[in-house]
Amino acid sequence: MSLSTTQLRNAWAPACRLQRPQTVQLHGEGRVRVDDRVVPALLALNEVMKRHGYATRRADTGAYNCRPITGGTGYSLHAYGIAIDINWNTNPYGRKLVTDMPPAMVAEIKAIRTGNGKQVWRWGGDYTTNKDAMHYEIVCTPADLATGIGGHRTPNTGSGIPHDVIREGAKGDKVTAIQYTLNFLGHRCAVDGVWGPNTTAAVKSFQAACKSLGSKVTVDGVWGPQTAALAEWWTVATLAGKR
């Protein structure tokens, strides 16, 4: 289980005094200053961004900042050099999830583990209140990171989009990946890993949009191999149009 913000503050204290800062060049133009103990984890995240063709921007990407947490008390994890913000103009902080990050990329970053099996990165887009899609934070201890960065859990397909038959009532990581994908493609639903009526409606909306363009997909609100293949195609096409 990943650590709470309070536990992370204790594990990485003191705030606002990076003893061994290091600046890392990310894929694209972004440069971030972090605690040097998190550099291997940051490089693993960066490799995922490279594979998905997601480029950072210099003007709205950053990391270390000695400041209080947004909307709360105590120091932000940025003050410990263990959090980064990526492309905040297109991944804003707010009540609704707004992001241009490919769903499969997010899932792969969240799947990075330490050598002793601990989760490395938490994504702000998963927050239960305000969403912070720009934000990734370390969620393990320095001792965990010292064991090295292990392999990533293999997604169901190269894109990370599940091809299983999944429907209303399902829960878990596969549902979360589907919900990320639907939101990325403009069919809105909650991203909470729980498939309810809103997720069904979003799937139907996506299927109907595909059908209107000539696809023979059935508009039934059930996720299966045909719907997944269409989602993969549209994800690639959307990214090609944005990059």
What is the tens place of the pLDDT at every residue in 31-67?
Answer: 999 998 999 899 899 989 998 999 999 999 999 999 9
- For domain 173-242, the CATH architecture is Orthogonal Bundle (1.10)
For the chain, give the percent of residues with pLDDT over 90.
Answer: 62
Reported CATH class of domain 5-145: alpha beta
* pLDDT, averaged across the chain: 89
Burial class (CB in 10 A: 0-12, 13-18, 19+), 240: exposed
Look at residues 131, 80, 77, 133 and name the one whose alpha carbon lies nearest to residue 105.
133
Give pTM, 2 decimals. Answer: 0.66
> Domain boundaries in the chain?
5-145, 173-242
